[in-house]
A and B are shown apart, each in its own frame.
Chain A
Amino acid sequence: MNIPAREKKGDDFTNVQMPGGTTVRSAKAEESLRNARLRDLWRLLTQNPKAFAGVCMVAFFVLVAIFGPLFIHTNPLAFSSDVLSSPSSQHLLGTTQTGQDVFAQVVVGTRVSILWGFLTGLLVTLLSITIGLVAGYFGGVVDDVLSLVINVFLVLPGLPLAIVLASVLSYKGPLTVSLVITLTSWAWGARVLRAQSLSMRKRDFVEAARSSGESAFRLIFFEILPNEIAIVAAGFVGTVIYVILAEAGLEFLGLGDPNIISWGSMFYWAQNNDALLQGAWWWFLPPGLCIALLGAGLAFINYGIDEVANPRLRREPKPKAVKMRKAA
């Protein structure tokens, strides 16, 4: 990770969070710094082989989600007389109990699952940013109260709580599932961000901005937050994995809307029609494989970020090069 020295940063990723800039920067300089930070993130994602593999896998699913349904001409909900047929050239992934085309369902379901997965991930991240940063920035009583709430939500069993909440609400659908998961899984990110902001609030650049009369809102979201963007990004990726798994779990239990095709509702129908006992592996195999591949892709991105953030984890031929130079 060779970041040019003019950006006042060391050569490793952890330093991105600690620019010791004491001067009050002009808006333009701030803008370019932010761009530089985004560039770092991009470089990080493409240069580390693990992260790159992850990005490719995730990109594939996002492309399928966006463009896939355009190429599907069969109605994924339409019944046909081809009941439970195994994969063939006519039905690439076979058909269900009622003759619906599994391939069409997987492609259409990808759009729903990815859309709601990322949307919920975003919601969770926003909630944890707000609570974590407010707690860390204000400190004192505000922090005590918010920390207690964060810690309580951290130890409460999230998935069971989500199941209970979702079963109580009378409206069933992706929105309920998404809100329920948001409510039960924001605490992890909030805790990490709180600790980080706590150490950041007394830094010189924050003090400088404060003495120039900026509001608390600006200080929190425009001074402190940009410095934590790497943690936020890693947290977002991890959250999306959890969210997609949790959504599939809730929908599998029938707590979503079974009439909206998603990976989770495909499981619901497959399980309720004993797909397994009829040997219809093509029915329950594809949605799970999609979740696993997408989840693995996201996890690879996170391990990549981890390796960059913690230089001891990565293996590099650097020491040799140094020795050779010394010898010369």
Chain B
Amino acid sequence: MRHLLRRIGFYLVALWASITLNFIIFRLAPGNPAEAIMARFQGRMNPEATQALLLQFGVTKDPLWVQYFQYLNNILHGNFGLSVTYFPTPVSEVIGQELPWTLTLIGCSALISFVLGTLIGVLIAWKRGSVLDSLLPPFLTFFSAIPYFWLALICLYVFAYTFNWFPLNGGYAIGLTPGLTPDFLGSVIQHAILPGFTIVLSSIAGWLLGMRNTMITTLSEDYVLMAEAKGLSEQRVMFSYAARNAILPNVTGFALSLGFVVGGALLTEIVFSYPGIGFALLQAVQNSDYPLLQGIFLLIAIGVLGANFLADLVYTVLDPRVRQERG
């Protein structure tokens, strides 16, 4: 229990750090969002409108620490300010629209990649020296060194542009109204296959190779030999004895690399013009839309922290030593 409390304490500190970083970084930015909007109107704005804009974006001359607490207060109330790109839509609304797309696409493909990679890793370590074991690792090493978005470009070129098997861009066919109709869902799945496939392809190598290597180390442990000597079934030895112990570093690895997977997947979304946070991120970067950027980063940070916390919980379940030593 004490272990759990410590972890919760740590994640609270990490959360505070990311919120504060988010505050500080955007104070470094030249200008403010109101100026960005004004620049768009190229000086054809009267003083009253300017004043109103400044108020709307919460630009004040208060001391920094007052601004900081106002910012914290705003975040607690879910108020992330107004987006410059989609002015005057609030940032939270923009993100709310895009989030389900990203969550489904990246969530599903990261999970598929982790499960598939780990399973194949277990299998090729078990059948060590087989054709698959000698061919797959170098092949996948090459794939893991490929930038996500470039693999996405290639897939798009080959499967969508040349062979026409998949749509070139978007999250669903133009002309369909979003809803729970079979037409719409079918179109969504058809659009998601290629981006999802790319994300799986470029992130699977890490899980697979990590699992293979720890699995090989575990397989030479005495208790595995003992289990085999007792005549337990192959599957039981493979999964309940070896894989269960070998998976621990992979769980930590999964949590820690999530930030990278999400970042890469965002770039992949941009290549596929897939609706989602990645697309919003590109808009925000191109338009210097700081409020939107701030909101997106905070959201990703909270998501990744949450996933890490979950992985920590899973770790406690999987590894009794963590519970006993510090529990």
Chain A residues with CB under 8 Å of chain B are 50, 148, 151-152, 154-165, 167-170, 188, 241-242, 245, 248-249, 252-255, 267, 271, 276-277, 279, 281, 284-285, 287-288, 291-296, 298-300, 303, 306, 310, 312-313, 315
Contacts and interface: CB of A to CB of B under 8 A. Distances in A.
Given A157-B259, A276-B156, A310-B217, A271 B271 contact: yes
Closest 3 CB pairs of A and B: A159-B263, A295-B145, A157-B259
Contact of B296 (A156, A160, A284): A160
Contacts of A163: 263, 281, 285
Nearest to B281: A163
B127 to A, nearest CB: 14
Nearest to A166: B285
Contact of A288 (B10, B150, B282, B301): B150
A249 B297 contact: no
Interface in B129-157: 129, 137-138, 141-142, 144-151, 153-154, 156-157
B14 A169 contact: no
A284 B213 contact: no
Contacts of B293: 164, 167-168
B263 A249 contact: yes
Contacts of B161: 276-277, 279
A285 B137 CA distance: 23
Interface of B: 10-11, 13-14, 17-18, 21-22, 25-26, 28-30, 129, 137-138, 141-142, 144-151, 153-154, 156-157, 161, 168, 209, 213, 216-217, 220, 255-256, 258-260, 262-264, 266-267, 270-271, 281-282, 284-286, 288, 290, 293-294, 296-297, 300-301, 304-305, 308
Contacts of A267: 149-150
B25 A164 contact: yes
A288 B153 contact: yes
A168 B24 CA distance: 11
Contacts of B137: 303
Nearest to A165: B25
A252 B285 contact: no
Nearest to B266: A160
Contacts of B147: 245, 248-249, 252, 288, 291-292
B285 A254 contact: yes
Contact of A252 (B26, B258, B267, B297): B267
